[in-house]
Amino acid sequence: MTDAAAPADSAARATHRTGLVFGGLAYGLWGVLPLYFLLLIPSGAFEIVAWRVLFSLVFCALIITVTRTWTVLGRPFKQPRLVWTMGLAGAFIFVNWQTYVIAATTGHVVEAALGYFINPIVTVLLGVFVLRERLRRLQWAAIGISFIAVIVLAVGYGSLPWISLILAFSFGFYGLIKKRVGPNVDAVTGLTLETAWLAPVAIIQLLVVSGMSGLTFGTVSGWHTAGLLAAGVITAVPLLLFAAAARRLPLTVLGLIQFVAPVIQFLVGVVLLKEAMPLERWAGFALVWVALIILMVDMVASGRGPRRSSLEPA
């Protein structure tokens, strides 16, 4: 190695390490989200998600104001189709958020974790049916094993694992949309547009909750109110950390560390919350993990990583 190459190599390693730290923090924060939502009880899932939308929009506006990037936010409005597309992305992420918070607050954290384990498989399926991509043999094997896993889990549950499937598919479609608009919309701009579209829905949701059971915001305790106010920060900070990691790491590496979040969620559900794990559920999870190992081996062997947008949990 020449003297000139040494500093460049050292800088590359430092960038890689920094990217791993940012990525680990992002996925770690996403992994402990169930505990955060549980701390917000007695707020119901519909109230929590509504405040999450509104306070995320406020936090994004603060970021844009501090960084003086309002002109960047204005660029998508020159392309009306792009703005409408972000509205569709907002609809999918709203379904994802609502389902996830319902799962976290009703004792289905393990099932939610399964949804994010399945998500990479769904992403591959969408690539076939929507983007007309051709799959390699190992990818087909991973999909086949995943279908068997869903059947095993359905038998164990007595019904399809709807929470897992809704999370996996809603985030899969969200990721597909983000892939297509990715070069034109950064993380903060994207979240701002999505939450702006969802703000009227969130307000209506709060009005309905207020009329039916009453709002808990500001009525429980100072810590509870602070927790709801922090929803915007809790939503935006992992996204910003992920964006920083994505600029520093190859997609293959991001694809490998993306499982930090569902692994943590799984451990939270099983170890901390003591959710039931009968034999058939272990069998289903084991099959999903085998499918994911096959998928990751194929990605590494082929030198390709999963789509960047599919790596961002809720």
Q: What is the pTM of this model?
A: 0.89
Residue 11 falls within a domain, yes or no?
A: no
Question: According to the 3-state scheme, what is the secondary structure of the chain?
Answer: CCCCHHHHHHHHHHHHHHHHHHHHHHHHHHHCHHHHHHHCCCCCHHHHHHHHHHHHHHHHHHHHHHHCCHHHHHHHHHCHHHHHHHHHHHHHHHHHHHHHHHHHHCCCHHHHHHHHHHHHHHHHHHHHHCCCCCCCHHHHHHHHHHHHHHHHHHHHHCCCCHHHHHHHHHHHHHHHHHHHHHHHCCHHHHHHHHHHHHHHHHHHHHHHHHHHCCCCCCCCCHHHHHHHHCHHHHHHHHHHHHHHHHCCCCHHHHHHHCCHHHHHHHHHHHHHCCCCCCHHHHHHHHHHHHHHHHHHHHHHHHCCCCCHHHHCCC
Residue 21 falls within a domain, yes or no?
A: yes
What confidence category does residue 96 fall into, taking pLDDT thresholds of 50, 70 and 90?
very high
Residue 298 falls within a domain, yes or no?
A: yes
Per-residue pLDDT tens for 109-134?
A: 999 999 999 988 888 888 888 877 78
Per-residue pLDDT tens for 56-92?
A: 999 999 999 999 989 989 998 989 999 999 999 999 9
Residue 2 falls within a domain, yes or no?
A: no
Residue 118 falls within a domain, yes or no?
A: yes
Q: What is the pLDDT of residue 102?
A: 96
Per-residue pLDDT tens for 9-45?
A: 777 788 888 888 988 898 999 999 999 999 999 999 9
Residue 1 falls within a domain, yes or no?
A: no
Average pLDDT of the segment spanning 94-101: 96
Residue 8 falls within a domain, yes or no?
A: no
What confidence category does residue 271 fall into, taking pLDDT thresholds of 50, 70 and 90?
very high
Structural domain span for residue 153: 17-311
How many domains is the chain partitioned into structurally? 1
